[in-house]
């Protein structure tokens, strides 16, 4: 399969400042997340891939097409949903999406049909004849998604798709993106500073920090690797219980308050743990499969590359990190 | 596929030719314009009425019996001067048209940030400008050089034999001069539309660009006894170009209420000044038409 995105020492300067500095990575998954604090270069990377910004050096390939040589081809293959407002307020929704479809090369009749379909697909079927200027913020976001989908792109680029949405609207948007991923062959490139958005929709994550790559993480692999990571809360667990569990081949750590952490080998079943607990008269009050959350991965990447950026950590704090907002 | 089905399917149909895709912009531009009945009425009026008057004039001028009937023998003549006058009237209507249409061309795309959506599609900035320019250029053509050529053909068919051959150079003169004027008006309209988002202000500025520098230039000419101030008067530059192309250079000033005691603007200077003004407009447009702005600092 052709990689979705290949970055080859990509460097971009804007306004006399280096915004992207020698990015190099190959991302093959169907759903790629661009994660990083505000100002880390996520939107600049997307804009560079679309040819809006010139590169200082290096190059990149989108679905195998070089951004210097095959820009028009890339624009044919891509559907782009920008971060900010992007619409013509005096046009009706369906008229606008039809316009965009025709600019992507669809004949007028097909463009009209697809515009209606796209509006129903994103859940705006009932308001498709209303002027875009009268839409609410959530509806405008969905209309932007409709125009990005209408011509049937191979890669859907979503720049902060949940920006400014209230929780129900955000949930609706995330469900739509998940549905696109599940029911179509389209690939996704989603940029967000919200950990949860990326975690819920992407298979692979490129973490950016101050124009550098702070980490590349295959979320699918992480999910698989951590499938057998268990957290236990027990009453009565002691060293002998831990030794019996370790004898099964588990890595085991006993924490205070009867809590334990286990890494189980593939061949060991959970019922073995229950059996030992019964023998030792240990009550298992809580048992959780746990995996490294994207938050752990993100914070690890940030710390490995120096301190967590001020914009990400200082003003927001632990409570917001807990809500998945950087 | 029924539209009420909430499912997604990939598009598997055919595509339009990439080279013609900019014409979508033009088509949508016209569709927006002609939604207004006032505009449609105005446009039909400036396209049809001058043409019908011109055709009627030619018919009378070339039909002695009718001249005798209206007792206008010898008064009515169709010559180069007549075509120049007719085209100048349409030149003014072109200016009115560009002041009306121009502000609605680019600013709606910029106001709500739609430009990235256009430019993220297989459409270059040049094609975008071409598509938007054609909205105005075709409208101007339909009221200027196209009917002028039809009137020329009418005159050839009704006029004295040999008239067409003697005045054949009028054809390139009509086409070249109008295209030059159209290019300037399109560039000016697009630049103003890109930089000024309020329609009324943009319309006002279109006229201001014509009248304010012209007034300043006239004052400069009077004070310094020179013709250099004429370079700021775009309409006058076009008048000079028209007269030269129509072979009426010696008539410059007679028909435009302008003193002829001074030296008039040389043709190369007039062409260069108009081209330079068009170039400045295109540069301004280039500055503004970017999918994403870069903040320097």
What digits encode the pLDDT tens for the residues A10-34? 999 998 899 999 999 999 999 999 9
Q: Which residue has the higher pLDDT, A60 or B228?
A: A60
User: What mean pLDDT comes out for the span B87-99?
Assistant: 96
Q: What is the CATH number of the domain that holds A277?
A: 3.30.70.270
The pLDDT assigned to B64 comes to: 80
b/e map of B55-91 (b: 16 or more CB within 10 Å)? bebbebbbeeeebeeeeeeeebebbbebbbebbbbbb
Contacts of A110 in chain B (CB under 8 A): 11, 13
- Kindly state whether residues A251 and A195 are assigned to the same domain: no
User: Rounded to an integer, what distance in angstroms lies between the CA atom of residue A139 and that of residue A169?
Assistant: 9
Contacts of A163 in chain B (CB under 8 A): none
pLDDT digits (tens, 9 = 90+) for A174-189: 999 999 999 888 999 9
The token pair at A184 is 């179509």
Residue A241 domain flag: yes
Q: What is the bridge-based pairing of β-strands A259-263 and A229-235?
A: antiparallel
Residue A255 domain flag: yes
Q: Are B94 and B140 in contact (CB under 8 A)?
A: yes
Neighbours of B197 (CB within 10 A): 14
Which bin fits A80, alpha (ψ -120 to 50), beta or left (φ > 0)? beta
Residue A214 domain flag: yes
Q: Choose the final residue of a domain: A189, A223, A257.
A: A223
B140 to chain A, minimum CA–CA distance in Å?
24
Give the one of B3, B13, B28 whose C-beta lies nearest to A116's C-beta.
B3
The pLDDT assigned to B1 comes to: 45
pLDDT digits (tens, 9 = 90+) for B269-283: 999 999 999 999 999
Question: Per-residue pLDDT for B260 more than 60?
Answer: no
Q: Choose the final residue of a domain: A201, A223, A245.
A: A223
- Kindly state whether residues A154 and A281 are assigned to the same domain: no
- Kindly state whether residues A280 and A263 are assigned to the same domain: yes
User: Rounded to an integer, what distance in angstroms lies between the CA atom of residue A167 and that of residue A145?
Assistant: 18
Q: What is the bridge-based pairing of β-strands A57-62 and A5-14?
A: antiparallel
pLDDT digits (tens, 9 = 90+) for A192-201: 988 888 988 9
Q: For chain A, what percent of residues have pLDDT higher than 70? A: 89
Kindly report the three-state secondary structure assignment for every residue of chain B: CCCCCCCCCCCCCCCCCHHHCCHHHHHHHHHHHCCCHHHHHHHHHHHHHHHHHHHHHHHHHCCHHHHHHHCCCCCCCCCHHHHHHHHHHHHHHHHHHHHHHHHHCCHHHHHCCCHHHHHCCCCCHHHHHHHHHHHHHHHHHHHCHHHHHHHHHHHHHHCCCCHHHHCCCHHHHHHHHHHHHHHHHHHHHHHHHHHCCCHHHHHHHHHHHHHHHHHHHHHHHHHHCCCHHHHHCHHHHHHHHHHHHCCCHHHCCCCCCCCCCCCCCCHHHHHHHHHHHHHHHHHHHHHHCCCCCCCCC
Task: Tell me if B6 and A120 make a contact (CB, 8 A cut-off).
Answer: yes
pLDDT range class, residue A159, cuts 50, 70, 90: very high
User: Can you give the residue range of the structural domain that contains A70?
Assistant: 5-92+150-223
User: What mean pLDDT comes out for the span A75-102?
Assistant: 93
ipTM of the complex: 0.87
pLDDT, averaged across chain A: 86
In chain B, positions 120-139, which contact chain A (CB-CB < 8 Å)?
A: 120-124
Give the one of A114, A120, A179 whose C-beta lies nearest to B4's C-beta.
A120
pLDDT range class, residue A224, cuts 50, 70, 90: low
Put simply, whether B117 touches A (Cβ < 8 Å) is yes
Q: Which residue has the higher pLDDT, A102 or A322?
A: A102
The pLDDT assigned to B43 comes to: 97
User: Rounded to an integer, what distance in angstroms lies between the CA atom of residue A8 and that of residue A109?
Assistant: 41
Residue A326 domain flag: no
The pLDDT assigned to B264 comes to: 80
The pLDDT assigned to A306 comes to: 54
Question: Per-residue pLDDT for A211 more than 60?
Answer: yes
pLDDT digits (tens, 9 = 90+) for B107-163: 889 888 899 999 999 999 999 999 999 999 999 999 999 999 999 999 999 989 899
- Kindly state whether residues A156 and A175 are assigned to the same domain: yes
User: Rounded to an integer, what distance in angstroms lies between the CA atom of residue B134 and that of residue B145?
Assistant: 15
Put simply, whether B65 touches A (Cβ < 8 Å) is no
Alpha carbons within 13 angstroms on the beta-carbon side of residue A241 total 26
Task: Tell me if B11 and A106 make a contact (CB, 8 A cut-off).
Answer: yes
pLDDT digits (tens, 9 = 90+) for B52-71: 999 999 998 988 887 777 76
Task: Tell me if B296 and A110 make a contact (CB, 8 A cut-off).
Answer: no
The token pair at A167 is 């929780």
Question: Per-residue pLDDT for A47 more than 60?
Answer: yes
Residue A34 domain flag: yes
Residue A207 domain flag: yes
Q: For chain A, what percent of residues have pLDDT higher than 90? A: 55
pLDDT digits (tens, 9 = 90+) for A245-254: 888 888 888 8
Task: Tell me if B120 and A149 make a contact (CB, 8 A cut-off).
Answer: no
pLDDT, averaged across chain B: 89
B273 to chain A, minimum CA–CA distance in Å?
33
Give the one of B12, B14, B114 whose C-beta lies nearest to A88's C-beta.
B114
Residue A324 domain flag: no
Question: Per-residue pLDDT for A266 more than 80?
Answer: no
Question: Per-residue pLDDT for B39 more than 70?
Answer: yes
Contacts of A73 in chain B (CB under 8 A): 122
User: What mean pLDDT comes out for the span B4-32?
Assistant: 87
The pLDDT assigned to A229 comes to: 78
Give the one of B28, B122, B290 whose C-beta lies nearest to A76's C-beta.
B122
- Kindly state whether residues A165 and A255 are assigned to the same domain: no
- Kindly state whether residues A42 and A83 are assigned to the same domain: yes
Contacts of A186 in chain B (CB under 8 A): 10
- Kindly state whether residues A192 and A248 are assigned to the same domain: no
The pLDDT assigned to B27 comes to: 96
CB-based contacts of A303-307 (< 8 A; 24+ apart in sequence)? A304/A214, A304/A215, A305/A209, A305/A212, A305/A214, A305/A215, A306/A209
Put simply, whether B35 touches A (Cβ < 8 Å) is no
The token pair at A121 is 């697909």
pLDDT range class, residue B2, cuts 50, 70, 90: very low
- Kindly state whether residues A163 and A81 are assigned to the same domain: yes
Question: Per-residue pLDDT for B254 more than 80?
Answer: no
Chain B residue with Cα closest to A87: B114
Mutation target for A interface from B122, B291, B293, B296: give the one with most A CBs within 10 A. Answer: B122
Q: Are A253 and A261 in contact (CB under 8 A)?
A: yes
The token pair at A61 is 């390939």
Contacts of A72 in chain B (CB under 8 A): 18, 122, 124
pLDDT digits (tens, 9 = 90+) for A279-324: 989 999 988 876 666 776 777 777 665 544 433 332 233 333 333 4
Q: How many domains does chain A have?
A: 2
Residue A61 domain flag: yes
Chain A residue with Cα closest to B113: A86
Mutation target for B interface from A43, A103, A104, A115: give the one with most B CBs within 10 A. Answer: A103
């Amino acid at each position: 399969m052709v990689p979705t995105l290949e970055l080859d020492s990509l460097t971009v300067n804007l306004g006399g400042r280096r915004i992207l500095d020698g990015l190099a990575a190959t991302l093959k998954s169907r759903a790629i997340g661009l994660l990083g604090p505000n100002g880390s270069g996520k939107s600049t990377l997307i804009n560079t891939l679309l040819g809006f910004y010139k590169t200082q050096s290096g190059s990149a390939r989108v679905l195998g097409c070089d951004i210097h040589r095959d820009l028009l081809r890339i624009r044919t293959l891509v559907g782009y949903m920008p971060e900010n407002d992007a619409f013509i307020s005096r046009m009706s929704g369906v008229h606008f999406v039809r316009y965009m479809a025709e600019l992507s090369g669809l004949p007028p009749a097909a463009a009209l049909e697809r515009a209606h379909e796209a509006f129903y697909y994103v859940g705006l079927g009932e308001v498709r004849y209303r002027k875009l200027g009268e839409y609410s913020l959530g509806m405008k976001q969905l209309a932007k998604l409709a125009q990005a989908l209408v011509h049937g792109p191979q890669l859907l680029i979503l720049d902060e798709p949940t920006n400014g949405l209230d929780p129900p609207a955000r949930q609706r948007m995330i469900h739509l993106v998940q549905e696109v991923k599940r029911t179509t062959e389209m690939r996704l490139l989603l940029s967000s500073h919200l950990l949860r958005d990326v975690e819920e929709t992407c298979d692979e994550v490129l973490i950016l920090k101050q124009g550098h790559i702070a980490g590349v993480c295959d979320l699918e692999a992480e999910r698989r690797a951590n499938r057998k990571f268990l957290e236990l809360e027990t009453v009565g667990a002691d060293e002998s219980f831990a030794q019996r569990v370790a004898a099964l081949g588990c890595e085991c750590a006993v924490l205070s308050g009867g809590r334990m952490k286990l890494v189980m080998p593939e061949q060991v079943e959970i019922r073995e743990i229950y059996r030992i607990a019964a023998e030792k008269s240990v009550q298992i009050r809580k048992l959780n499969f746990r995996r490294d959350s994207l938050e752990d991965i993100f914070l690890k990447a940030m710390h490995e590359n120096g301190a967590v950026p001020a914009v990400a950590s200082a003003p927001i704090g632990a409570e917001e990190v807990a809500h998945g907002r950087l | 596929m029924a539209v009420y089905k909430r499912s997604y399917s990939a598009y598997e149909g055919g595509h339009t030719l990439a080279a013609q895709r900019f014409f979508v912009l033009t088509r949508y531009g016209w569709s927006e314009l002609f939604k207004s009945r006032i505009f449609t009425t105005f446009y039909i009026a400036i396209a049809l009425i001058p043409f019908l008057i011109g055709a009627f004039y030619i018919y009378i001028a070339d039909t002695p019996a009718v001249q005798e009937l209206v007792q206008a023998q010898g008064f009515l003549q169709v010559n180069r001067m007549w075509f120049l006058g007719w085209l100048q009237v349409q030149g003014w209507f072109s200016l009115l048209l560009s002041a009306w249409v121009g502000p609605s061309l680019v600013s709606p795309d910029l106001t709500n940030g739609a430009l990235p959506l256009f430019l993220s599609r297989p459409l270059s900035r040049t094609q975008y400008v071409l598509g938007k320019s054609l909205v105005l250029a075709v409208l101007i053509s339909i009221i200027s050089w196209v009917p002028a050529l039809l009137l020329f053909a009418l005159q050839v068919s009704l006029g004295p034999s040999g008239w067409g051959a003697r005045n054949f150079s009028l054809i390139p003169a009509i086409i070249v001069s109008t295209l030059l004027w159209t290019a300037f008006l399109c560039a000016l309209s697009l630049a103003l539309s890109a930089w000024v988002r309020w329609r009324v202000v943009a319309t006002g500025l279109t006229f201001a660009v014509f009248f304010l520098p012209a007034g300043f230039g006239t004052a400069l000419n009077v004070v310094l006894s020179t013709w250099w101030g004429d370079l700021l008067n775009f309409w006058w530059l076009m008048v000079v170009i028209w007269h030269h192309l129509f072979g009426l250079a010696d008539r410059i000033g007679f028909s435009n209420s302008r003193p002829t005691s001074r030296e008039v603007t040389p043709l190369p200077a007039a062409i260069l000044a108009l081209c330079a003004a068009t170039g400045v407009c295109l540069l301004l447009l280039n500055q503004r038409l970017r999918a994403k702005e870069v903040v320097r600092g």
